[in-house]
C-alpha cells in the first residue's frame, strides 16, 4: 500500500480529533455541548473516533429550551443510549416559571433567557472548564475570527479584541478557577464538508433534515412547522401539509423550513450546492440587529 496525500476530509477529521484529545488531556472537567443538529452529530462521531476503544471521557450537555422539535428530543435520547454516554439536559426553570416563550417575549429576549442564560448557568453549576461547540467559521463573519480555543471570562464573556494567538497545533489550555474555554473542533469545516462527511461515514441525523409532508404555516415568508399545539395560530391561519425539510435545526417556532423533494443525502447535498441562500438565514435570531452574532457571543452565546 503506497502513501498518498490525505484528502481534505481526512485532514479535517484528523485536525478535529487532535483538538478533542488535547481538551480531554489538558482540562479537568470538559463537556460537549450537544445541540442535536448535523454539526453536533459530526462532532460526536469525531469524539467517538478520538478515544476508541474508550468512550469519550466527558458528558454531553443539551440546553433544552422546551421548544425543540419533538423528533430532535427523541433522537437525542436514542443517541445517548445507543452510544452509552452520559447526557445532561438543562432547562432554565426560572424562564419556564416566568412563561418566557418566543411568542410572548420576542426571539431576542427568549434566546437570551432560555439559551444564553441557561447555558451559562449550566456551565457554572457543573464547573465545566471547557465546553465543545459545533460552530464553524464559514457560518458567520464574527465566527471567522474566533479561535479554536476561545477563552471565556468568569462571566462567560468573549473579548474578540483580546484573543490568545493560536499557532500550529499548540493550543493554550491554561485557565484560572471559574474561567473556561469554548472549543470549536469543527472550525475549519464548511457546510459542504459536513454533509460529505455524514454521507461517507453514514452518520445518523435527525429525520427532519430529509423532505417529508409536514404541517406548516407561512409567516412573513418563513415556513414554520406546527410541531405541537403550543404554536399560537394567527387569525385566519390554518396549517397546511407541504413537502418540506430543514437545513438547520433549533427551536421550532424560530426555524424556517424549505420546500424540498430532497429525501436522500446526495439529494440534500445537490440541493445545497444549488441553493442561493446561506444556512443561518433560516434562523430568526441573526436578523434582529446588525452584527448580532458578535454581540450575542460577547454575552456568552455559543
Q: Is 49 in the site for other proteins (CB under 8 A)?
A: yes
The position carrying cell 439529494 is 267
Among 3, 97, 99, 236, binds other proteins (CB under 8 A): 3
- When asked if residue 50 is in the footprint of other proteins (CB under 8 A), the reply is yes
What x-and-dash track marks residues 232-261 binding other proteins by CB under 8 A? Answer: ------------------------------
Q: Does 204 bind other proteins (CB under 8 A)?
A: no
Which residue's CB is nearer to other proteins, number 233 or number 291?
A: 291
- Peptide bond before 53: cis, by omega within 30 degrees of 0? yes
Q: Is 188 in the site for other proteins (CB under 8 A)?
A: yes
How many Cα atoms are found within 13 Å in the side-chain-facing hemisphere of 158?
A: 24
CA-to-CA distance for 277 and 281, rounded, in angstroms?
Answer: 7
**What is the SS3 assignment for 182?**
strand
Q: How far apart are CA 132 and CA 16, in angstroms?
A: 11
Does 52 sit near other proteins (CB under 8 A)? yes
Least Å from the CB of residue 73 to other proteins: 27
**Does 220 participate in binding other proteins (rule CB under 8 A)?**
no
Give phi and psi for 28, each to the nearest 5.
-80, -40
Q: Cβ closer to other proteins: 52 or 70?
A: 52
Partner residues linked to 255 by β-bridges: 283
The three grid cell numbers given for residue 201, joined into one nine-digit string: 461515514
For residues 110 and 102, the answer to whether their CB atoms sit within 8 Å is: yes
Residue-wise burial string across 81-100, b where 16 or more C-beta atoms lie within 10 A, e elsewhere: eeeebebbebbbeebeeeeb
State in angstroms the smallest separation of the CB of 103 from other proteins: 25
Q: In the complex with other proteins, which residue's Cβ is closer, 206 or 293?
A: 293
Element (H, E) at 85: none
Task: Report in angstroms how near the CB of residue 232 gets to other proteins at its nearest.
Answer: 27
Q: Is 142 in the site for other proteins (CB under 8 A)?
A: yes
Q: Which residues in this chain contact other proteins in the complex, by CB under 8 A?
A: 1, 3, 5-14, 17-18, 21-22, 24-25, 48-55, 137-138, 141-145, 160-161, 163-170, 172, 174-176, 187-188, 190, 192-193, 196, 199-200, 264, 266-267, 269-270, 273-278, 281, 290-291, 294
Amino acid at each position: 500500500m503506497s502513501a498518498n496525500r490525505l484528502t481534505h476530509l481526512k485532514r479535517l477529521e484528523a485536525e478535529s480529533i487532535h483538538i478533542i484529545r488535547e481538551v480531554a488531556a489538558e482540562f479537568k472537567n470538559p463537556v460537549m455541548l450537544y445541540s442535536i443538529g448535523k454539526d453536533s452529530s459530526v462532532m460526536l462521531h469525531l469524539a467517538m473516533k478520538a478515544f476508541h476503544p474508550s468512550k469519550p471521557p466527558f458528558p454531553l450537555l443539551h440546553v433544552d429550551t422546551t421548544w425543540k422539535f419533538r423528533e430532535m428530543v427523541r433522537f437525542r435520547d436514542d443517541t445517548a443510549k445507543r452510544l452509552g454516554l452520559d447526557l445532561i439536559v438543562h432547562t432554565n426553570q426560572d424562564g419556564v416559571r416566568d412563561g418566557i416563550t418566543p411568542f410572548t417575549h420576542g426571539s431576542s429576549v427568549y434566546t437570551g433567557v432560555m439559551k444564553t442564560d441557561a447555558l451559562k448557568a449550566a456551565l457554572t453549576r457543573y464547573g465545566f472548564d471547557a465546553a465543545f461547540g459545533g460552530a464553524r467559521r464559514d457560518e458567520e463573519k464574527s465566527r471567522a475570527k474566533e479561535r479554536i480555543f476561545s477563552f471565556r471570562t468568569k462571566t462567560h464573556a468573549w473579548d474578540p479584541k483580546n484573543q490568545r494567538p493560536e499557532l500550529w497545533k499548540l493550543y493554550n489550555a491554561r485557565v484560572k478557577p471559574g474561567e473556561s474555554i469554548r472549543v470549536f473542533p469543527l472550525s475549519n469545516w464548511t457546510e459542504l464538508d459536513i454533509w460529505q462527511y455524514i454521507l461517507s461515514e453514514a452518520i445518523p441525523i435527525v429525520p427532519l433534515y430529509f423532505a417529508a409532508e409536514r404541517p406548516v404555516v407561512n409567516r412573513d415568508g418563513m415556513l414554520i412547522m406546527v410541531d405541537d399545539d403550543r404554536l399560537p395560530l394567527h387569525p385566519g391561519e390554518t396549517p397546511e401539509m407541504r413537502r418540506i425539510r430543514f437545513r438547520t435545526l433549533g427551536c421550532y417556532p424560530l426555524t424556517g423550513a424549505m420546500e424540498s423533494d430532497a429525501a436522500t443525502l446526495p439529494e440534500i447535498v445537490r440541493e445545497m450546492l444549488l441553493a442561493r441562500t446561506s444556512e443561518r438565514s433560516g434562523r430568526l435570531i441573526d436578523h434582529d440587529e446588525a452584527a448580532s452574532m458578535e454581540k450575542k457571543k460577547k454575552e456568552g452565546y455559543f
